[in-house]
Amino acid sequence: MNKFSRRAFNITLTKGIAGAGIISGMPFACAFGAEKNTKKSLGVALVGLGNYSTYQLAPALQDTHYCHLAGIVTGTPEKERIWSDKYEIPKQNIYNYENFDRIAENEDIDIVYVVLPNSMHMEFSIRAAQAGKHVICEKPMAVSVQECNAIINACKDAKVKLGVGYRLHSEPYTQEVKRFVSEKTFGNVTYISADAAYTSRGNPNQWRLNKALSGGGALMNMGVYSIQSAIYGTGENPISVTAQEYSTRPDYFKDTDETVTAQFQFPGGAAGNIMTSHNANANRLFASCERGWFQLEPANNYGPLSGQTARGPLSFPHESQQKLQMDDFASHILQGTPNRAPGEMGKRDMIVVEAIYESIASGNKKVKLNLGAMGLV
Ligand code: NAD
């Protein structure tokens, strides 16, 4: 069955069943909060059809079980025809940035996935929530803690679910690391190290190098992966951070940070060290524990990831991380399964990002953090 007929089938099924009044007998017919969702597969609209939507999210949405590509929102008129031909997206499910709010009237769309430059995440996430749609917001969640709060509040007010595009929480090697930590397989973690970096040599005018659009450089882009690794690799939020910034190509990185290192203290006593850069290549998580160690390398690319431990190698079958992530979020809405990357997690990471920038700005002073269990899933 192709995508279009599967969607048509689901909608027909939904309406037919609702009409017949047998909702309670359906496996996915659940009521959560203000909403009653009886669909088997939720419609996703991608906002921003750049590289990540084009090469990762849209292809992944062809294989998902609990959601499907139903609509697009683009500021580039030429992309409307290309996407509608390729994915059989009906005209009424295609929006631009101006008429986007009319998506509120569109029953084919349940989830809006914001895949725009970072400084645009807040506006489109809030507009999506106000249109009554569940929201997935790409990482970093926004460009400040204040903006994260605004997104979280808008989703709460609209009684819609909010997820951050942290695909690794649905990925098996990462889940195994989280299991090692929660079950103390190797005892307590005593040291965690996490690096996430790539060398940027492309267009110097790209939005990632423009602070107004990106909110910051390597730290905002790859740094959130290092922060995430350090936190799920210990199972704790840090209680302090000290950070440094290095610049070796200031002609290219005119506006944004090139390389950042930071050291964390964790409440259980572990020490942590992270590195992120737009001028180095690194992709690694390493944890030393009381009775052994574990490591992922690569730890945060699209996979397959690879892992080693004191007891031998890890091996899991590879599946699209984006497929797993979007199905997890759709299951959260349909079946009440846990939200693996809630808004509080994105906000927590932005608090850490801001503390790192604060430490750098203050000449590498230690900045205390009071996060409690915020965003720990
Ligand atoms: P991209 O540059 O390839 O695409 C950006 C899209 O935004 C384009 O379609 C562009 O037309 C549109 N856009 C609208 N206004 C713009 C403006 N003023 N300047 C530039 N582009 C504008 O970027 P991308 O790699 O697709 O990244 C988009 C978002 O997804 C970012 O927040 C990024 O951090 C995130 N991302 C996440 C992952 C992940 O693994 N979770 C991977 C890549 C990107």
Ligand 1 touching residue 76 (CB < 6 A): yes
pLDDT, position 15: 30
pLDDT above 60 for 232: yes
Last residue of a domain, one of 138, 165, 192: 165
Together in a domain, 181 and 237 = yes
Residue-averaged pLDDT of the chain: 92
279-289, strands of its sheet edge to edge = 312-314, 307-309, 292-296, 279-289, 189-199, 271-277, 259-265, 240-246, 367-368
Question: Does residue 29 surpass a pLDDT of 60?
Answer: no
pLDDT band at 31 (very low <50, low <70, confident <90, very high): very low
Give residue 209 CA to ligand 1 midpoint distance, Å: 12
pLDDT of 296 reads 98
pLDDT band at 5 (very low <50, low <70, confident <90, very high): very low
Question: 């292809």: which residue's tokens?
Answer: 59
Whether residues 160 and 221 share a domain: the answer is no
- The structural domain count of the chain equals 2
Q: Please indicate whether residue 116, judged by its CB atom, sits closer than 6 Å to ligand 1.
A: yes
Mean pLDDT, to the nearest integer, of 260-270?
98
Q: Are 207 and 299 contained in the same domain?
A: yes
Would the pLDDT of 362 be above 50? yes
Candidate from 115, 119, 225, 283 with most ligand 1 atoms within 8 A of CB, to mutate: 115
For residue 199, how far is its CA from the centre of ligand 1 (angstroms)?
Answer: 18
DSSP 258-314: -EEEEEEE-TTS-EEEEEEESEEEEEEEEEEETTEEEEESS-SSSS---EEETTEEE
Tell me whether residue 331 is in a domain.
no
d(CA 222, ligand 1 centre) in Å: 14
pLDDT at 226: 98
183 and 281 within one domain = yes
Our answer on whether the CB atom of 118 is closer than 6 Å to any ligand 1 atom is yes
Judged against a pLDDT cut of 70, whether residue 2 lies above it is answered with no
116: domain CATH number is 3.40.50.720
Structure tokens at 368: 């205390």
Tell me how far the alpha carbon of residue 116 lies from the centroid of ligand 1, in angstroms.
4
Rounded Cα gap, residues 330 and 165, in angstroms? 13
**In this predicted structure, what is the pLDDT of residue 211?**
98
pLDDT score of 33 = 37
231 and 145 in a common domain: no
Report, as an integer, the average pLDDT of 239-261.
98
223 touches ligand 1 (CB under 6 Å): no
**Is 191 near ligand 1, meaning CB less than 6 Å away?**
no
Residue 376 lies in a domain: no
Residue 37: its pLDDT value, please?
65
Please state the separation of Cα 125 from the chain's center in Å. Answer: 13
- Same-domain status, 137 and 222: no
How much distance in Å is there from the Cα of 214 to the middle of ligand 1?
10
Q: Give the distance (Å) from ligand 1 centre to CA of residue 49.
A: 8
- Specify whether 264 is located in the same domain as 362: yes
Residue 332 placed within a domain: no
What's the average model confidence in pLDDT over 96-113?
98
Q: Is the CB of 215 under 6 A from ligand 1?
A: no
Residue 240 lies in a domain: yes
Q: What does the alpha-carbon distance between residue 141 and residue 351 come to, in Å, rounded to a whole number?
A: 11
The pTM score is 0.92
51, 78, 169, best to mutate for ligand 1 pocket (most atoms within 8 Å of CB)? 51
**Contact predicate 274/230, CB 8 Å:** yes
Judge if 232 and 277 occupy the same domain.
yes
- Residue 24 confidence (pLDDT) above 50: no
- Residue 373 inside a domain? The answer is no
Q: How much is the pLDDT for 36?
A: 52
> Could you tell me the distance, in angstroms and rounded to a whole number, from the CA of residue 121 to the centre of ligand 1?
10
- Residues 12, 127: one domain? yes
- pLDDT score of 28 more than 80: no
Residues 112 and 187 reside in one and the same domain:
no
pLDDT bucket at 257, cuts 50 / 70 / 90: very high
What single letter denotes the amino acid at residue 115?
Answer: V
Q: Which of residues 113, 147, 165 is at a domain's end?
A: 165
- What span, in angstroms and rounded, lies between the C-alpha atoms of 108 and 129? 16
Q: Quickly tell me which residue has 């069955």 as its tokens.
A: 1
Whether residue 23 has pLDDT greater than 60: no
Tell me if 257 is assigned to some domain.
yes
Residue 164 beta carbon below 6 angstroms from any ligand 1 atom = no
The secondary element (H helix, E strand) that includes residue 36 is strand 35-37
pLDDT at 14 over 70: no
Residue 339 in this model has a pLDDT that exceeds 70: yes
88 in any annotated domain: yes
Mean per-residue pLDDT for 76-83?
98
Residues 364 and 216 in one domain: yes
Q: Domain containing 10: what range?
A: 3-165
CA distances from 325 to 122, 211, 272, 302 (A): 21, 28, 27, 12
Closest alpha carbon to 57 in 48, 209, 9: 48
CATH at 179: 3.30.360.10
Whether omega for the bond prior to residue 317 falls within 30 degrees of 0, making it cis, is no
Q: From the CA of 208, give the closest atom in ligand 1.
A: 2
Same domain, 142 and 233: no
Per cent of the chain over pLDDT 70 is 90
Domain finish residue from 139, 165, 191: 165
Q: Is the Cβ atom of 48 under 6 angstroms away from ligand 1?
A: yes
Distance CA 122, CA 117 (A): 10
Rounded mean pLDDT, 113-140: 98
Q: Is the pLDDT of residue 114 over 70?
A: yes
Question: For position 38, what pLDDT does the model report?
Answer: 82
pLDDT at 34 over 50: no
Does residue 374 fall inside a structural domain?
no
